[in-house]
């Protein structure tokens, strides 16, 4: 099942810099593990924003929920999920 997911990150200005650095590093490792496994197919930066658009290929809605819930930056994100279907004009 394919999903487009938009993640907007909003880290508090007063967040401890060490916590910030550790959380961002854990997020990167978590994301790259899922990219290697094939569940996180694409990640694109939205120009000029601390946001990304990602494509996930997962077995179920529950699996996507589990992945998103487990994001180290999850507490600081607004997430929008769009389920995708094949387009009849796709070649």
Ligand X SMILES: O=C(O)C[C@H]1C=CC(=O)O1
81 to each of 19, 33, 35, 75, 87, how far by Cα in Å? 27, 21, 18, 16, 18
Binding of ligand X by 35 (CB under 6 A): no
CB nearer to ligand X: give 21 or 88. 21
Tokens (6 digits) for 58: 């997962």
Minimal distance in Å, beta carbon 37 to ligand X? 14
The yes or no reply on residue 52 touching ligand X (CB under 6 A) is: yes
Q: Which x/- pattern, by CB under 6 A, does the window 64-83 give for ligand X? A: ---------x----------
């Amino acid at each position: 099942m394919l999903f487009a997911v938009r993640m907007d990150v909003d880290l508090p200005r007063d967040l401890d810099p060490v916590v910030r650095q550790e959380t961002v590093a854990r997020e990167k490792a978590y994301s790259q593990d899922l990219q290697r496994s094939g569940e996180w197919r694409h990640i694109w930066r939205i120009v000029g924003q601390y946001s990304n658009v990602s494509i996930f290929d997962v077995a179920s809605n529950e699996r996507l929920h589990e992945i998103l819930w487990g994001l180290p930056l999850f507490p600081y994100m607004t997430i929008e999920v769009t389920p995708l279907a094949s387009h009849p004009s796709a070649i």
